[in-house]
C-alpha cells in the first residue's frame, strides 16, 4: 500500500450506487465538479514551525467531498486511487 | 449532512420571496453579483500557529451576503447547497 | 442592515452636490478614478495572530476617498451601497 | 484636507521652475519616469504585528522622488494632488 | 556520487519489471503521470527559522511515487538519475 | 543630493576606462547584462519586525555589479545616477 | 575578484575534460539542462529574522550541479564566471 507524504490523502472514489445511500448527489458532468470518495490513507500533515507534523483533518474511512482537479491517479493491485491534498477536501459526510 | 472542513461554510441560497422580506436586493443579472443565503453548517476555521482551529465569523442560521464565484455546488437529499470559503462571505444581515 | 465581515466596510457614495461642499473634486470620468463616500458600517477587521480582530482605520460617518474598483454593490431598502475592503480606502476627509 | 490611510502619502508635484533650484532633473518624457514632489500629508504607516502603526519614512514638507505609476490623482480646492504608497517614494532630497 | 542540497532528493526511476512486484501500476502514457523510483540520496532539508535543516520525510532506499514534472535529469557513471524536490514526492510504498 | 529610502541604493555607472582597471569586463551588448557602478548613497535598509531598519550590505564608495533592469534613472547637477534596490546588487569588487 | 552578496555564489563552469573525471555526465544540449561548475566565491547568505546572515550550503572549491537558467555572466581577467543564487545549486559532488 501507499503512505501519503505531507498533507496528502489517498482516496478511493465512490461508485454511483454507494453514493445514493447517503442522499448526496454531485453533478457528475461538470468539469470541475466535486467528487465523493472514501479515505484510504492519510499523510502526517504539514509541519509546524518546530518541524512537527500537525496531522490532517480527516481519518481513514471518512467519506469526503473533494475537488476533482489537481489529484494524482494511481492504480494499486488493480484498484484506482487518487492522491489529493488535504486542502482539496471540502467536507466530510456526517 | 455535510461537515465543511477548514474555513469553509455550507450555505443555501435564499429564494427571491425570502429575500424581499429583509429589504436587501442584490443585482441578480450581473455575472459576479453577490448572493444572499442562509448558513447551514460551518467548518472549524483555519488553524492558528499552534495548530488550533480559530473558528469562523458566521454561525448556523445567519443570513449572509456572499460573492457568487468560487463556491462548489452540491445536492443533498434533493436540496442544492454551496460550499464556500469564509472569505467569500462579505456581510451578515442584522 | 448589513454588518460587514473581516476588514470590509459598507460605504454609500456621495452625490455631486454633497461633495462640492468639501472642495474635493475627483475625476469622475476616469475608469479607475477614486470615489468619495460616507462610511455606513464597518467590519471587525483582520485577525491578529492570536485570532483577535484588530479593528479598521475608519469609523461610521467618516467621509472617505476609495478606489472605485473591486467593491461589491448591494441595494438595501432602495438605497445603493458598496462593500469594499479597508485597503481600498485611500484617505479620510478631515 | 485629506488624511491618508495606512502607509499612503499625499504629495503635490513640483513645477519645473521649483525643481531647477535643487539641481535635480528627472527625464519628463519617459513613461515610467520618476517625479519630484512635496509631501503634504502622511498616513500612520503599516501596522506591526501588535496592530500598532509603524509610521512612514517621510514627513510633511519633504521633497521626494517618487515613481510615476500607481498613484491616485485627487483635486482639492482646485489644486492637484497624488495619493501614493510610501513604497513608491524612492528618495528624499537632502 | 551527488549530495543533494536543501530539500532535494536524488531518485532512480524503477524499471517496469521491478514495479510489477509491488502491484502498483502508474499510467505511463500520461504526460503528467506520477513515476515510481528508489531514493538514492537525500538533502538536509529546508532550514527552520534558526537556520537548522529540518531533514526530509524520505530516506535512502525508500520506494516513492513522485510527480514526473519539474525534476532535473543527471547521468552518473552511465546511470540515469533525477534530482527532485521533496514536495514532488507524493507517497512512499509500505 | 538624494537620500534613498528603504533598501535602495544610489549608484553611478562606471565608464569603460574606469572598469578596465579592475579587470572585470561585463558583456555590454546583452539586454539584461549586469553593469558596474560606484555606490554614492545608501538607504537605511528594510525594517525588521520591530520596525528598525536593518541597514544594507554595501556602503558609499563600493564598486558593485548590479542587474541592469529595474533601476530608476535620475540626473543630479548634470550627472546621471541610478536608484536601485539592494537586491539588484549581485556582487562587490574586492 | 568579486564578493557575491546575499545568498549568491560565484561559479566557474567546468570544461568537458574536467567533468569526465568524476563520471558525471549532464545532457549538454537540453535548453534547461543542469551544468557542472566549481565554486569560486560565496556570499554571506540570507539574513535571519535578527538580521544575521545564515551562510550558504556550499563552500569555495566545491564542485556543484546547478540549473543553467537565471545566472548572470561576468568576465574577470579574461575568465568567464557566473553569479547564481544558492537555490539554483541542486547538488554537490562527493
Closest to A2 (Cβ–Cβ): which among E49, E54, E65?
Answer: E65
> Minimal CA–CA distance to D55: which of D2, D1, D9?
D9
Q: What is the mean pLDDT of residues G46-66?
A: 90
Q: What is the DSSP letter of E57?
A: S
Q: What is the largest CA-CA distance in chain E?
A: 45
3-state secondary structure of D21: helix
Say whether the ipTM exceeds 0.85.
no
Half-sphere exposure of D69 (CA within 13 A, CB side): 5
Residue G43 lies in a domain: yes
pLDDT for the residue numbered B20:
47
- The CA–CA distances, whole Å, from C20 to C61, D69, G35 equal 18, 28, 66
Residue G23 lies in a domain: no
> Minimal CA–CA distance to G30: which of A36, A40, E73?
E73
Touching partners of E (3+ C-beta pairs < 8 Å) = A, G
Pairing label, strands F24-25, F89-93: unpaired
Rounded (10°) CA dihedral C23, C28, C33, C34: 40
Please, what sign has the CA dihedral across residues E29, E35, E37, E43?
Answer: positive
Say if residue F40's pLDDT is above 50: yes
C-beta atoms surrounding D50 within 10 Å: 8
Say if residue A31's pLDDT is above 50: no
Touching partners of B (3+ C-beta pairs < 8 Å) = A, C
Q: List the single best residue of D91, D92, D93 to mutate versus F (max F Cβ within 10 A).
A: D91
With CB atoms and an 8 Å threshold, state whether G5 touches F91. yes
Q: Which residues pair with B11 in a beta bridge?
A: B39, B82
pLDDT for the residue numbered B21:
52
> Minimal CA–CA distance to D35: which of D15, D10, D6?
D15
Residues of D with CB under 8 A from a CB of F: 23-27, 34, 48-49, 54-55, 57-58, 65, 67, 86-87, 89-94
Residue C87 lies in a domain: yes
Mean pLDDT of chain F: 85
What lies within 8 Å, CB to CB, of G78 at 6+ separation is: none
Do C59 and C89 form a contact (C-beta atoms < 8 A)?
A: no
Q: What is the mean pLDDT of residues G18-40?
A: 68
Cα separation of C69 and B29, whole Å?
Answer: 19
> Minimal CA–CA distance to C34: which of C68, C3, C60?
C68
Cα separation of E59 and E57, whole Å?
Answer: 7
Burial status of residue C6 (CB atoms within 10 A of its CB: 0-12, 13-18, 19 or more)? buried
Q: Which chain E residues are closer than 8 Å to G48 by Cβ?
A: 49-51
Do G45 and G51 form a contact (C-beta atoms < 8 A)?
A: no
Quote the cell numbers at residue B70. 468560487
pLDDT band for position G58 (cuts 50, 70, 90): very high
Residue B39 has phi, psi (to 5 degrees) of: -75, 125
Which residues constitute the domain of residue E79?
8-14+31-93
Residue C3 lies in a domain: no
The strand ranges marked E within F26-88 are 34-42, 63-67, 72-76, 79-85
Residues of A with CB under 8 A from a CB of B: 23-27, 34, 48-49, 54-55, 57-58, 65, 67, 86-87, 89-94
Cα separation of B10 and A90, whole Å?
Answer: 10
Q: What is the mean pLDDT of residues E33-56?
A: 90
In chain A the first and final C-alpha atoms are separated, in Å, by 27
Cα separation of D86 and D9, whole Å?
Answer: 6
> Minimal CA–CA distance to F73: which of F20, F37, F44, F45?
F37
Could you tell me how many helices (H) and strands (E) chain D has, helices first? 1, 8
Residue F21 gets the label, from left (phi > 0), alpha (psi -120 to 50) or beta, of alpha
Residue A89 lies in a domain: yes
Residue B72 lies in a domain: yes
Q: How far does the CA of residue E1 sit from the closest CA of chain G (Å)? A: 5
Closest to G74 (Cβ–Cβ): which among F24, F49, F87?
Answer: F24
Touching partners of F (3+ C-beta pairs < 8 Å) = D, G
Say if residue E58's pLDDT is above 60: yes
Quote the cell numbers at residue E60. 535512502
With CB atoms and an 8 Å threshold, state whether B51 touches A48. yes
Is pTM, for the whole model, over 0.90?
no
What lies within 8 Å, CB to CB, of D91 at 6+ separation is: D64, D65, F2, F3, F4, F5, F8, F10, F43, F74, F83
Render the burial of D61-78: b for 16+ CB within 10 Å, e for the rest: ebbbbbbbeebbebebee
Closest to B34 (Cβ–Cβ): which among C10, C74, C77?
Answer: C74
Residue A76 lies in a domain: yes
Closest to D4 (Cβ–Cβ): which among C27, C48, C90?
Answer: C90
Q: Model confidence over B7-32: pLDDT tens digits?
A: 999 999 997 555 545 566 665 544 46
pLDDT for the residue numbered G48:
80
Cα separation of E88 and E91, whole Å?
Answer: 9
Q: How far does the CA of residue F37 sit from the closest CA of chain G (Å)? A: 13
> Minimal CA–CA distance to A78: which of D14, E22, C24?
E22
CATH code at C56?
A: 2.30.33.40
Residue G19 lies in a domain: no
pLDDT for the residue numbered F25:
62
Q: Which residue has the cell 525594517?
A: F47
Closest to A2 (Cβ–Cβ): which among E48, E54, E91?
Answer: E91
pLDDT band for position G87 (cuts 50, 70, 90): very high
Q: Model confidence over C10-64: pLDDT tens digits?
A: 999 997 555 545 566 665 544 467 899 999 999 999 888 777 888 999 999 999 9
Domain count, chain G: 1
Amino acid at each position: 500500500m501507499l503512505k501519503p507524504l505531507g498533507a496528502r490523502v489517498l482516496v478511493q472514489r465512490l461508485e454511483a450506487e454507494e453514493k445514493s445511500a447517503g442522499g448526496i448527489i454531485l453533478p457528475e458532468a461538470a468539469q470541475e465538479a466535486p467528487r465523493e470518495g472514501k479515505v484510504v490513507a492519510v499523510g502526517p500533515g504539514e509541519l509546524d514551525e518546530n518541524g512537527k507534523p500537525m496531522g490532517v483533518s480527516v481519518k481513514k474511512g471518512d467519506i469526503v467531498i473533494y475537488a476533482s482537479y489537481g489529484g494524482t491517479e494511481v492504480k494499486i493491485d488493480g484498484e484506482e486511487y487518487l492522491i489529493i491534498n488535504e486542502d482539496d477536501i471540502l467536507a466530510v459526510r456526517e
